[in-house]
Amino acid sequence: MKRSERPIGVFDSGLGGLTVFKELRAQLPGENLIYFGDTARVPYGTKSAEAVIAFSREITAFLLKKKIKLLVVACNTASSLALDAVRKVSPVPVLGVILPGVEAALAAAPAGGKVLVTGTTATVNSRAYSKALAATGARVRVLEKACPLFVPLVEEGWCSKPVASAVAREYLLPFRGKKIDAVILGCTHYPLLKKIISKVMGPRTRIVDSAHAAAARARLELAERGELNSGRKGKSQFIVSDAPEKFSILAFKLLGIRTGKVAVKRF
């Protein structure tokens, strides 16, 4: 197999990373994609850094056996806590979702503006976004808010239920009057709650989803390495660590993704 024909590996704690997968499929239609959702151990955001690093290394080793040419860590918690550890064991390039999200936020927020970072408890505690924003030298004020209940709401498929709106208001209503220019959805599950979050924050606030930016970065990486697949229609493979039927149902219900048969890999 030519290196360009090798698949791109993508992983997340559950089905949230499918927001990145969908963008990859849209921007790179000729690429073969392998998606792994760690549904047996979701959510990662309440786990220790040591656990997230261990899980990420396990999944990376598994995907590397699939002869991938690029690994996309489509999980903000893993990108925050385990990216360096994954890069140390990976012979192929590894992309996270933090930097693409930061770049998109800076494009949405003016100099001197305010950026609100939402994410899992682990992501917010890591201050990965604050550090990345500071490293750019951009003059923006950064606020952060952990929203741990968003992930289980998405994993249950409750994105449009009243409870999701109530939880979003509880977390975010205190920020509505603070003239927030951009909200970073610092978890790949959160774009599935984008409409609710936008409604709570109001029309002046831009909602930043890193999925589009992450997919664009993957395309650029492959182009620079001369590894873009020229095929017209790439294949998609989905693997989870538990509950494949539920994963398949929610993938179609929430994102319109037809997974076909979902394989199971338990660690």
The amino acid that residue 187 corresponds to is: C
Contact 186, 101 (CB under 8 A): yes
Per-residue pLDDT of the chain (267 residues; tens, 9 = 90+): 889 999 999 999 999 999 999 999 999 999 999 999 999 999 999 999 999 999 999 999 999 999 999 999 999 999 999 999 999 999 999 999 999 999 999 998 988 899 999 999 999 999 999 999 999 999 999 999 999 999 999 999 999 999 999 999 999 999 999 999 999 999 999 999 999 999 999 999 999 998 999 999 999 999 999 999 987 799 999 999 999 999 999 999 999 999 999 999 999
Q: pLDDT value at position 214?
A: 95
DSSP, res 14: S
Q: pLDDT value at position 34?
A: 98
8-12, strands of its sheet edge to edge? 94-95, 70-73, 8-12, 33-37, 236-240, 263-264
Q: Tell me, yes or no, if 75 is annotated catalytic.
A: yes
Q: pLDDT value at position 231?
A: 74
Give start and end residues of each alpha helix (H) in the chain. 18-27, 49-64, 76-81, 83-89, 98-108, 121-126, 128-135, 150-155, 162-172, 194-201, 210-224, 244-255
SS3 (DSSP) at 184: strand
Structure tokens at 233: 């229609």
User: Where do the domains of the chain lie, and which CATH numbers do they carry?
Assistant: 3-96+212-264 (3.40.50.1860), 98-210 (3.40.50.1860)
CA 262 to chain centre: 20
- Choose, from 33, 52, 72, 75, the residue flagged as catalytic: 75
Contact 143, 168 (CB under 8 A): no
Three-state SS across 202-258? CCCCEEECHHHHHHHHHHHHHHHCCCCCCCCCCCEEEEECCCHHHHHHHHHHHHCCC
Q: Tell me, yes or no, if 159 is annotated catalytic.
A: no
Cis peptide before 244 (omega within 30 of 0): no
SS3 (DSSP) at 69: coil
- Choose, from 187, 213, 243, 254, the residue flagged as catalytic: 187
Structure tokens at 4: 């360009």
182-186, strands of its sheet edge to edge? 141-146, 114-119, 182-186, 206-208
- Ramachandran class of 164: left when φ > 0, alpha when ψ lies in -120 to 50, beta otherwise: alpha
pTM: 0.93
